[in-house]
Structure formats: C-alpha cells, structure tokens
C-alpha cells in the first residue's frame, strides 16, 4: 500500500508539473500572438550569387518551407538593408533553392548574408511605377501614415472618387497589399493603403498589443471617414490575413459600414481559434496549448497577464460569427497550401454565404501568396470584380 501511495503521489506531482509546464507554454504563446512586430526572422542564407550584365542573374539560398514556392517574390538581405526581386525557381536540391534575379533594387547580395523571402514584390509605390501621395489618417490615437494612390481620373481631380482602402495583416506593413494596387488602378479605382495601431510610424495602442482586429477596426473606420471627407463616392474595403478579419470587424461594428459597397479578402483571418491551432502545429507545441491560449486571451484576468488592457472577444473573431452577420458582397481569394489560415475555413465561409461570397482558390499558393503564385489570374479576377456593377 505504501508503495502504491508513493507511486500515486509521484505521478500526481509529475502530472502537476506537466500541467504547470503546459500552462506556462500557453501564456508564452498567447503573449507571442499579441505582442507587436519585432525584428523579422531571417530563416535562410545566401549560398551563391551570379550576376548578369543586364542586371539579372540567379541567387541560391538555403532551403526552407517558403523558399521553393513558385512565383515572384522579394528577397531581403543584409539585415533588411538590401532588397532584390526574384522570379522562377531554376534549380533546387535537398538543401538549397536557386531563383532567377529580376532586379537588384538596393545593396549587393553577398554569400553568407542572412535573408528572407517576402510576398511583397515591390518595396514602395515608386518601385511599382505608381504615383502616390503621403497622407495622415486622423484616428483616436493620433495620425496614422498612409499612401494614397490615385486612379488615372483622380490625378486630374482633387476629389478621391472611387476608393479601395487596403489593410495589411498581422505583423506586416503597407508593402503587403501594395501588389494589388495595379489591378485596382486598372479598374479605375484609387487606393488608400493604411497603417493601424502598433505599426512602425503609427501610434501605439494604449496597451501596446495587438487585439487581432477587435480594436484595430477603429483605425479602418477612421480611414473610411477620411475617404468620405476627401470626396470618395464609392468605398471598398480590402484586407489581407488579420487585415481581412479587421475589415470584417469594421463592417460589423462601425456606424460607417453602410458607406462600404463591397469587400475584398485575401487569406483572411476568419477564425482565430483555427489560426492558433495552425501555429501550434507549425511550432510543434503540444496541441492543448491552442485552446489554453485562446482562453487566456479572452479571460478578464488572464488577458491582463499577457499585457492586454482588455480581453479579446474571441467568439466574435470566429467564422460562425462572420458568416451569420455579414451583409456586404465579398470577393475571397485563398491559397490551398496556406499553413496558417486554413483553406477549410475559407471554403466553409464561402459555402455558407454563396449569396454574397465569390470564392477563388489558388492551387499551391501559401499564406497571402495567391498573387505571387499566379499574378495574371489574380489581377484579372480583382480588376473584373471592381469593374462590375455590384447591384
């Protein structure tokens, strides 16, 4: 009996230790989800570079999950001081991927430098050949920087006219949605590419943390208000990743939602519980960490322990909530190889609201990589949709 009691006590202590370890991991994970963007990871290294006289060439980098995706990308190197555009994969093996260099925009790539691929092909509007004006969006936290990129018609008129407001995703920046602007401009629309709280150059949130769209929507509402003041007749909201969820929150919460005509979503954060599970799997964390972290973020007391000034209403960031309440026409694009925002959620959202959602899936495309995988198709879909009369 004494042996059994001792074993049971030992097992109980081990169980408590394991439970305590899981709890600590869940808090660390929850904190990681809401903390503001820091220095981006550089998961690869330049192994070889060949430059051609015409400015092109090839670059070989260490293989990682994103390195071999088909399409056009940007490559940051030298602690993000250097930037080049890369195209198709020309060779690959178990440890490396060689891609075509389309253009070296800044710096000189050198063997041994750390690097990272980005879906943001152009590093500013000028690089994309787009005219733009720097504007400030007045918000409750102070002015937030934005790019206004006028349509050809708007260049001759001070009024903004038909305007798409573009909202980037989690820990990203204005470069992310920039790749969609040429297609928007081809349809005769202007673009307002915005920032929101906690972005570089924008005011911090009161608690300095992301709220996964539950507070960031107010900054999108402020952008709508500015567009109306500048003479915008028709307004479309467009969101990438968390920006997509933020756009939907705007439609459900803002008194200006009726001024929005339609919505474009690229790999949107439609269900944060599913996204938390995806990141847990990618990090090889124990699976219970995801629901535990969700509970921490929405708890009145536990949310404060990860620095949140108020709990995040996770139930309102779920696909069931969105498809039940949405009233605006939606164009939704999604890659079927998205490792973080599950394609199954996008399919379910589109199936539930066939009356409002036009859905296009991109084979082999990762998270917000549909444009990179097939730019002609992506641009044609977006331009055609904007050019149609929605009535």
In a domain, 295, yes or no: yes
The predicted model scores a pTM of: 0.92
| Residue finishing a domain among 118, 138, 165 | 118
Summarize pLDDT for 344-371 with one digit per residue, the tens.
999 999 999 999 999 999 999 999 999 9
Instruction: State the CATH number of the domain containing residue 110.
Output: 2.40.30
Asked which of 118, 138, 169 is the last residue of a domain, the reply is 118
User: Is residue 40 very low, low, confident or very high in pLDDT (cuts 50, 70, 90)?
Assistant: confident
Identify the domain boundary among 86, 118, 150.
118
Q: Do residues 163 and 224 both lie within one domain?
A: yes
Highest mean pLDDT among 19-23, 319-323, 350-354: 350-354
Same domain, 153 and 190: yes
Does 298 lie in the same domain as 180? yes
Could you tell me which residues are beta bridge partners of residue 138? 143
On whether both 78 and 199 belong to a single domain, the answer is no
> How many distinct structural domains can be found in the chain?
2
Residue 53 structural domain: 44-118
Q: What is the pLDDT of residues 276-295, one digit of tens each?
A: 999 999 999 999 999 999 99
In a domain, 142, yes or no: yes
21 falls within a domain: no
CATH number at residue 298: 3.40.50.1820
Reading across the β-sheet that carries 357-362, which strands appear in turn? 133-139, 142-149, 190-194, 163-167, 235-240, 260-266, 330-335, 357-362
**Domain assignment of residue 22, yes or no:** no
Whether 23 is in a domain gets the answer no
pLDDT tens-digit series, residues 73-127: 999 999 999 999 999 999 999 999 999 999 999 999 999 999 999 999 999 999 9
């Amino acid at each position: 009996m004494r042996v059994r009691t001792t074993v049971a006590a030992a097992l109980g202590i081990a169980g408590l230790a394991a439970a305590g370890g899981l709890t600590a991991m869940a808090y660390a994970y929850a904190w990681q989800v809401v903390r503001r963007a820091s220095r981006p990871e550089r998961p690869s290294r330049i192994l070889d570079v060949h430059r051609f006289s015409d400015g092109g060439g090839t670059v070989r980098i260490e293989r990682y999950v994103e390195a071999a995706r088909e399409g056009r990308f940007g490559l940051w190197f030298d602690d993000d001081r250097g930037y080049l555009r890369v195209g198709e994969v020309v060779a690959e093996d178990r440890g490396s991927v060689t891609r075509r260099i389309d253009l070296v925009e800044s710096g000189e790539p050198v063997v041994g430098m750390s690097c990272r691929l980005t879906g943001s092909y152009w590093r500013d509007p000028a690089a994309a050949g787009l005219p733009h004006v720097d504007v400030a969006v007045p918000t409750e936290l102070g002015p937030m920087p934005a790019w206004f990129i006028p349509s050809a018609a708007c260049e001759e008129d001070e009024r903004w006219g038909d305007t798409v407001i573009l909202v980037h995703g989690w820990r990203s920046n204005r470069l992310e949605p920039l790749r969609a602007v040429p297609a928007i401009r081809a349809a005769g629309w202007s673009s307002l590419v915005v920032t929101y709280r906690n972005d570089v150059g924008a005011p911090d949130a009161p608690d300095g943390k992301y709220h996964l769209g539950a507070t960031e929507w107010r900054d999108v509402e402020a952008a709508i208000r500015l567009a109306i003041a500048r003479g915008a007749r028709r307004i479309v909201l467009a969101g990438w990743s968390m920006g997509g969820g933020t756009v939907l929150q705007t439609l459900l919460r803002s008194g200006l939602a009726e001024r929005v005509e339609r919505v474009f979503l690229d790999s949107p954060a439609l269900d944060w519980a599913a996204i938390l599970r995806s990141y847990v799997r990618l990090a090889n964390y124990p699976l219970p960490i995801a629901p535990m972290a969700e509970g921490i973020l929405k708890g009145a007391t536990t949310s404060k322990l990860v620095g949140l000034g108020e709990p995040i209403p996770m139930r309102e960031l779920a696909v069931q909530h969105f498809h039940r309440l949405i009233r605006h026409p939606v164009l939704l694009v999604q890659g079927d190889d998205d490792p973080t925002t599950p394609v199954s959620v996008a399919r379910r959202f589109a199936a539930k609201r066939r009356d409002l959602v036009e859905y296009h899936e991109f084979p082999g495309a990762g998270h917000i990589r549909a444009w990179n995988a097939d730019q002609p198709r992506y641009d044609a879909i977006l331009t055609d949709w904007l050019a149609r009369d929605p009535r």
